[in-house]
Amino acid sequence: MAARGGFNTRLGFILASAGSAVGLGNIWKFPFEVGAGGGAAFLVVYLFFAFVLCFPVMTAEIAIGRSTQSSPVTAFKKLGFSKWSGVGYLGLASGLLILSFYNVVAAWSFGYFFEIIQGHFAVGDSFSSYTSNWIKIGAYSIIFIMGTAYIVSRGVSQGIEKAAKIMMPTLILLIFGLIIYALSLPNAFVGIQHYLLPDFSKMTANVVYSALGQAFFSLSLGMGALITFGSYLNKDADVVTSAAIITFTDVFIAFLAGLMMFPFVAYVTEGDLSAMSTISGEEAFIFETLPAVFESLGPNLGVLIGGIFFLLLSFAALTSTISLLEVPTAFLVDEKEINRSKATWSVAAVIFIIGIPSLLGAGASSFFSEFVILPGQSSAISFMSFISMVGGSTFLSVGGFLISIFTAFVWRKQNFSRAINLENPSLISRWLANYVHFAIRYVCPVVLGIISLTTILNNYFGVSFL
Ligand code: PFF
């Protein structure tokens, strides 16, 4: 078997996994979902899903990886359940699909960083004129995937771990810096109030539903990214507390992102948060409204604050694209015995190619921009939204469901216990492990089963349960 490498320290593993989890989903999507979903009311539901439902699945993924020292497809085979390697293949497919569009969105963010530090605040006449410039975005996305591939090709400890050790602390510093600045803006506290005051009237079934999808995507679960990272973990590392720390870090950074974003929203709307609906969607806010805010701060401060914001977004995206690229790379290394560097660069090239329709579908090509009208919907969605729905929402929830079924009923209690160190734990990890055992058997399969089924019926057959 080709050499696999591994993390040098448990901290390195935790930072890399938290880096996978903390991504565009946290900084870009989460604050707006909280704002639209009833502030603290949404937050409570989200925390419930993250800790009650997602944390056990994360523990299971890391445990499967660590005890087999293999990436998903090989891991199921090594445990003696070859048929279940289908779950690994499903994860592989989600990874390729997610990375193909995620890289394009990362390229938008990275591109803005590049433009703003040169003093170009109005990057296009509008966001859509920016994204439809496919040559420019294509160039940014080539740079981004090449940066990702360079880090992954250097191996686990020299590439992924080193990058995470630099980027994660920097990311946290940047976010705190921006929060402090944002809180000094006029109307900041009106924004914070809107972000956090609970409004239970907004808690529709749809909101609860999207909280779960968001939590799953945000924690990078359901596609074996954490099986893969877990496979590089030392045999004696404590899996349960590591999973708890990763879950906490992800949720905490998402929460911080809201503390940064809402003061900006309140500043732009002069404290009238009801005007938020006129800021059409998150993308327009991030790429049109925010740059205008940065410009209004004057050339020096604007470049500094705007530069920091888009650097933060690019770093968050990069630590996630690294883990997304690692999944197919590790598959080629483990299953096909291809050398890591060759595997990484070939997968990166394939991803760029599968991402071309997403790149073109943001305005450049009307075919890919209005790709499909789904049953029950009145307007067409873009290729990128379609792929995100298939790879990001459907595959992940089905993958998570299957992983919990596998852990609870196929792999079974004794083996799982051994894999999460239940024999020799600290008090807290024993307590957490007992909870994980209970949830993976009685909570996760039922809830994830229902969610997967309703997602499929709702998304592809237009059957609504609300
Ligand atoms: N967790 C990332 C985010 O919130 O942006 C996205 C992601 C990364 C999903 C890695 C899945 C994955 F394996």
CA 317 to ligand 1: nearest atom: 5
Reduced to 3 states (helix: H, G, I; strand: E, B; else coil), residue 106 is helix
Identify the residue whose C-alpha is closest to ligand 1 atom 12: 220
Q: Which residues pair with 372 in a beta bridge?
A: 381
Per-residue pLDDT at 276: 65
| 247 assigned to some structural domain | yes
| 377 assigned to some structural domain | no
| 461 assigned to some structural domain | no
Q: How far is the CA of 271 from the centre of ligand 1 (A)?
A: 32
| DSSP-H helix ranges across 3-84 | 10-21, 24, 30-36, 40-48, 55-68, 72-78
Which among 321, 295, 3, 298 is positioned nearest to 157, based on CA atoms? 3
Q: How far is the CA of 187 from the centre of ligand 1 (A)?
A: 32
Per-residue pLDDT at 316: 96
* pTM (two decimals): 0.95
| 454 assigned to some structural domain | no
Q: What is the DSSP letter of 372?
A: B
Q: Answer whether 266 contacts ligand 1 (Cβ < 6 A).
A: no
Q: Answer whether 321 contacts ligand 1 (Cβ < 6 A).
A: no
Q: Provide the CA 50 distance to its chain's centre, in angstroms.
A: 13
| 373 assigned to some structural domain | no
Per-residue pLDDT at 3: 61
| 414 assigned to some structural domain | no
Q: How far is the CA of 173 from the centre of ligand 1 (A)?
A: 21
Q: Answer whether 225 contacts ligand 1 (Cβ < 6 A).
A: yes
Q: How far is the CA of 414 from the centre of ligand 1 (A)?
A: 30
| 280 assigned to some structural domain | yes
Identify the residue whose C-alpha is closest to ligand 1 atom 13: 220
> How far is Cα 357 from Cα 361, in angstroms, rounded to an integer?
6
Q: For residue 155, which amino acid is it?
A: G
* Average pLDDT for runs of 10 along the chain of length 466: 80 97 92 83 90 97 96 97 97 97 96 92 77 95 98 97 97 95 94 88 78 90 97 89 96 94 89 66 79 88 94 96 98 96 98 98 95 90 94 93 97 89 76 94 95 88 76
Per-residue pLDDT at 424: 63
Identify the residue whose C-alpha is closest to ligand 1 atom 11: 220
Instruction: Tally the domains of the chain.
Output: 1
Per-residue pLDDT at 257: 94
Which among 159, 61, 149 is positioned nearest to 347, based on CA atoms? 149
Query: Which residues form the domain of 161?
Result: 10-89+105-347
| 451 assigned to some structural domain | no
- CB burial of 57-67 (b: ≥16 within 10 Å; e: otherwise) equals bbbbbbbbbbb
Q: Answer whether 105 contacts ligand 1 (Cβ < 6 A).
A: no
